[in-house]
Amino acid sequence: MAKPKDDNYWRDQLTDEEFEVCRKGGTEAPFSGEYWDVFDDGVYRCRCCGEVLFEAEAKFQSHCGWPSFDAEFTVGVIRELADSSFGMERVEIRCSQCDSHLGHVFDDGPTETGLRYCVNSLSVKLDQEPGGGEGGEGK
């Protein structure tokens, strides 16, 4: 397994806003992100490591102000952690490859999975040409 990258590495790779969300667990304001209302074909990759996290077909309009998906691309590509910050009990989601903070998952989704992966746009990047290689570093 590769040595984890430190904050200095990530500060050089990400914008200040991306760093705050992806590496420090921040949250972008609702209805402000690049992908909250985008429904184009492709796959959503981790902004930090390029891992495929979600298929566009799994995206749905949740009216919550963040991109929402009902299933991860492959079981295990997303890691779940208990999050009791801000006086709430939630389940945080992170990229299992690079530990980037993605958002939270809730059990109130409208499809047969019953899940709503609520994701920060700053944590992902839409790849409309998914055949261009799996994974890989960069934005």
Q: Is position 6 within any domain?
A: no
Q: Is position 106 within any domain?
A: yes
Please determine, for residue 1, whether its predicted confidence score (pLDDT) is greater than 90: no
Q: Is position 15 within any domain?
A: no
Q: Per the structure, how many domains does the chain have?
A: 1
Q: What pLDDT, on a 0 to 100 scale, did the predictor assign at position 139?
A: 38
Q: What pLDDT, on a 0 to 100 scale, did the predictor assign at position 136?
A: 46
Q: How does the average pLDDT of the chain come out, rounded?
A: 90
Average pLDDT over residues 50-67: 95
Q: Is position 48 within any domain?
A: yes
Active-site residue list: 118
Please determine, for residue 68, whether its predicted confidence score (pLDDT) is greater than 80: yes
Average pLDDT over residues 104-110: 94
Could you tell me which residues are beta bridge partners of residue 90? Answer: 83
Res. 90 pLDDT band, cuts 50 70 90: confident
Please determine, for residue 4, whether its predicted confidence score (pLDDT) is greater than 80: no
Buried b (16+ CB within 10 A) or exposed e, 89-107: ebebbbbbbbbbbbbbbbe
Is the separation of the CB atoms in 46 and 12 below 8 Å? no
56's CB contacts (< 8 A; 6+ apart) are 39, 40, 41, 42, 43, 44, 126
- pTM here is 0.88
Q: Is position 136 within any domain?
A: no
Is the separation of the CB atoms in 138 and 81 below 8 Å? no
CATH number at residue 70: 2.170.150.20
Please determine, for residue 60, whether its predicted confidence score (pLDDT) is greater than 70: yes
Is the separation of the CB atoms in 95 and 53 below 8 Å? yes
Q: What pLDDT, on a 0 to 100 scale, did the predictor assign at position 137?
A: 45
Give percent above pLDDT 70 in the chain: 91
Q: Which domain holds residue 44?
A: 30-128
